[in-house]
Amino acid sequence: MNTSVFGAALSRRGFVQAGGALLAGFALAGKRVSADVLNPAKPESWIEIHEDNTILMRTGKSDFGQGTIFTAYRQIVAEELSAPFAAITTVVSGDTDRTPDGGGTFDLLGGGMPNVRKAAAYVYQALLDLASKQLGVAKDQLSVKEGVVSGGGKSVSYGDLVKGQKLNLTIPVKGDLNSMFGLTVDGNPPLKPVSEYSVIGKSFPNSVIVSKVTAKEKWVTDVRLPGMLHARVIHPKSLGSKLVSAGALDKTRFPNSQVVVKGNLVGVVAPTEWEAIKAAQQVAAGTKWTEWKGLPGDQRLFHYFKEDADWKNAPVAAAKTNKGDAAAAIASSPKKMTATYELPFLKHAPIGPTMAVGDVRPDGSVYVYTHTQNPQALRTGIAFMLSTSVDKVVVRTFAGAGHYGRSNGGNAGAEDEAVILSQAVGKPVRVQWMRPDDLQWSTQSSAALSDVRLSLDAQGSLSGYEISHYMPAMQDDRLVGALLAGLPTIPAPNEKGSIFGIANGMNDPWVYDATPAVLERAYGTGQVGQTSSPINVGLRDHSMRTPGQYQQNFPRELAITEAAVLGGKDPLAFRIQHAREKRLLGVLEAVRDNSGWNMRPARGSDGVSRGQGVAVMFRAGTYWACVAHIAVEHKTGVIKVEKITVAVDPGIVINPAQLKRQVEGGAVMGVSMALLEELSFDESGITASDWRSYPILTMADVPEIKVVLVNNSGVGSYGQGSEAANALAAPAIAGALLDATGKVARRLPLKPEYVKTLLA
């Protein structure tokens, strides 16, 4: 038997006594699939239908706390299959040798068309074909409910359809498994009409929460291999220091430890974790490094951006929505405003510092155990570092501390060091970064600067808007341990062959369609200090949550609020006046009606002022609006965020309860970024070393959070980007400060000292 199912190929490999199944695997266009691609002993399939009516699904993505792969993905697959949610008993994720598609844990809902949806749609068609034959009923006369196919007065369950058989469905895919983006399911299988959805839209719980709460989850921190050694890495004194000499190990105190030196990488390996820590401290004290002072320091960062950085070397990005002659419009308008906005470097700052276990085996195979958003890309990077074939490398992923985009290009931080040390000592090695390592040697979210010019016409409407965004390259996926050890890595953003380069993109779509003249541009440059660093490190940057978009949305949204105030208008009404898109108007109205927005807020007295601010964003198919209510104490400059209201329209809401929790979390991180977060660094490196020098919001300061979900099924698809919630707080809070005090804060974070200066 060999049948074509909308471009997928259904075949029967044979009959079996027990364990019959339909396995859906993949074929690259134009390539023959090896017979064992769907060998259950070598499982690489997307979806398996088992004869006991259970379903297994696989995805190369991993869970980073959104729960999406355990909730939304299962709902999407169950929906397309018309099977019960509970039938999907197993979700296999992330491991390079056990999952099919690769790619990163970002854009999980794939513009409404994630791989799992199409894979499920193919499987559904294959099951209908099987049922049609078995029941002797034409395909278009069949209907499916809860995994049971009915037609012509007869019915058969999915399990019975595959019983005693070994069926393969080969799904067409395109792309490169080992690249950052992985494989994408190809073709256009028929999809279930949205009007028939019954699984999507329900608040199914996240199955992994039970195991995490009851201490049954196997975290990456729990990985223990036979003979495994513990290691700590002694990172260089600065982001440009070379090793002069490694300190001598005191063998009388640490008889079981050993020091590994490879280039500028110094590791200390011991049988127990505590000995590794103490021995590393002892060796570090005697280790000598060259000095380096190649960074501007945090106090001079924006001076450096304005005066010293080279913004002319990268192509300038212009928004597709640019229109009219903004310069002429501004020149001829009665009211104008010019402003500059500054955003600091931020840390992803996971609660647990990165850790990984590396196991370079005698046969040359390499196993990496970690918590990464992009296992296949990490696999490729490790193979490249060792100058070995990618087939030799396996990456296994486990639950870990979320790090919000830091590893979406593969590397969370410790993996390459674990592999290098394992290769050196011939045993599995567990590298755990300490808190200072994680703050000082991981990547950061890029700092940015934006210049705005805008104008109002005689009626106070926006007549011209011009913005220029400046941001250094933000996607450095080089393995830092490999860099230190002098081993091969992928190119830096400024180097030839880099995937992303140093160009900045227009990442925050323009949404105020009624504006007659708009000019938005984005300028890029290399990473701060990288090229002058003798070890090619400097301040490495990486995408975080809403990469590039947060940096562009804060200046735009605060400038729009300022423009409203300049024209004597209410900032929320001003936005409604300039928006045309119905979904944007919908979230603006929802946030107005649910936040207690007051068209003429009362200013406070007795030294405390209260204000309200608003911000909007369009991201990944989803419209967002946020209102912040704050109180600011004039004497101290302390801002207390009292309430955050977020309205979100993603089109179809897949799982309301999970989305609500994600939005709440994003809002809290957003308040944290707005009020507290700023990476401190001097001319040599990052000076933040703990939670006191890089503070984040605590429960004491968590505001009341109200989430309004706008389920807009008429959109016909689901957008995503729950991380957008954390970009919205800052411009809304700065807008509220302006409302409360009449003073505008164009730089983040809004620390008391800064606010006090503004109010003085």
What residue ranges bind other proteins (CB under 8 A)?
Answer: 64-67, 205-206, 208-210, 212-215, 217-219, 221-222, 224, 252-255, 272-275, 278, 349-353, 355, 399-402, 404, 432, 434-435, 657-658, 661-662, 664-669, 672, 690-692, 696-700, 702, 705, 726
Q: Which CB, 255 or 568, lies closer to other proteins?
A: 255
697 to 384, 465, 504, 677: CA distances (angstroms)? 39, 34, 30, 9
Q: Which CB, 168 or 726, lies closer to other proteins?
A: 726
Q: Which CB, 228 or 565, lies closer to other proteins?
A: 228
Q: Which CB, 145 or 224, lies closer to other proteins?
A: 224
Phi, psi of 541 (to 5 degrees): -115, 160
Tokens 């975080």: give the residue. 544
Tokens 């609660």: give the residue. 351
Closest distance between other proteins and the C-beta of residue 222, in Å?
Answer: 5
The angle at the Cα of 553, spanning 311 to 508, to the nearest 5 degrees, equals 75
Closest distance between other proteins and the C-beta of residue 258, in Å?
Answer: 14
Q: Which CB, 403 or 578, lies closer to other proteins?
A: 403
Closest distance between other proteins and the C-beta of residue 143, in Å?
Answer: 34
Return the number of other C-beta atoms located less than 10 Å from residue 310's C-beta. Answer: 11
Closest distance between other proteins and the C-beta of residue 316, in Å?
Answer: 35
**What is the C-alpha separation between 105 and 409, in angstroms, rounded?**
9
Q: Which CB, 436 or 534, lies closer to other proteins?
A: 436
Q: Which CB, 117 or 406, lies closer to other proteins?
A: 406
Closest distance between other proteins and the C-beta of residue 348, in Å?
Answer: 8
Secondary structure of 148-207 in HEC code, one letter for each residue? EEEECCEEEEHHHHHCCEEEEEEEEEEEECCCCCEEEECCCCCCCCHHHCCCCCCCCCCH
Closest distance between other proteins and the C-beta of residue 515, in Å?
Answer: 33
Closest distance between other proteins and the C-beta of residue 24, in Å?
Answer: 30
Q: Which CB, 197 or 219, lies closer to other proteins?
A: 219
CB neighbour list of residue 173: distance below 8 Å, 6 or more residues apart: 26, 27, 28, 29, 101, 183, 184, 185, 186
CA-based nearest residue to 621, from 69, 235, 109: 109
Closest distance between other proteins and the C-beta of residue 704, in Å?
Answer: 8
Q: Which CB, 15 or 691, lies closer to other proteins?
A: 691
* Burial (Cβ within 10 Å: 0-12, 13-18, ≥19) of residue 201: middle
DSSP character string of 391-420? GGEEEEE-B----TTTTTTS--SSHHHHHH
Phi, psi of 17 (to 5 degrees): -70, -45
Q: What angle in degrees, to the nearest 10, is found between the helix axes of 375-385 and 415-425?
A: 40
Closest distance between other proteins and the C-beta of residue 699, in Å?
Answer: 4
The angle at the Cα of 351, spanning 348 to 352, to the nearest 5 degrees, equals 105
Q: Which CB, 45 or 68, lies closer to other proteins?
A: 68
**What is the C-alpha separation between 412 and 221, in angstroms, rounded?**
14
Closest distance between other proteins and the C-beta of residue 223, in Å?
Answer: 11
Closest distance between other proteins and the C-beta of residue 550, in Å?
Answer: 15
User: Quick one: CA torsion of 404, 409, 410, 416, rounded to 10 degrees?
Assistant: -110
Sheet strands (E) in 79-164: 88-93, 143-145, 148-151, 154-157
- Residues listed for the chain: 760
Q: Which CB, 353 or 375, lies closer to other proteins?
A: 353
Q: Which CB, 350 or 571, lies closer to other proteins?
A: 350
Closest distance between other proteins and the C-beta of residue 721, in Å?
Answer: 16
**What is the C-alpha separation between 244 and 405, in angstroms, rounded?**
34
Tell me if 369 sits within 8 A of 67, measured CB to CB.
Answer: no
Tell me if 48 sits within 8 A of 22, measured CB to CB.
Answer: yes
The angle at the Cα of 184, spanning 182 to 185, to the nearest 5 degrees, equals 145
* Burial (Cβ within 10 Å: 0-12, 13-18, ≥19) of residue 714: exposed
Q: Which CB, 552 or 722, lies closer to other proteins?
A: 722
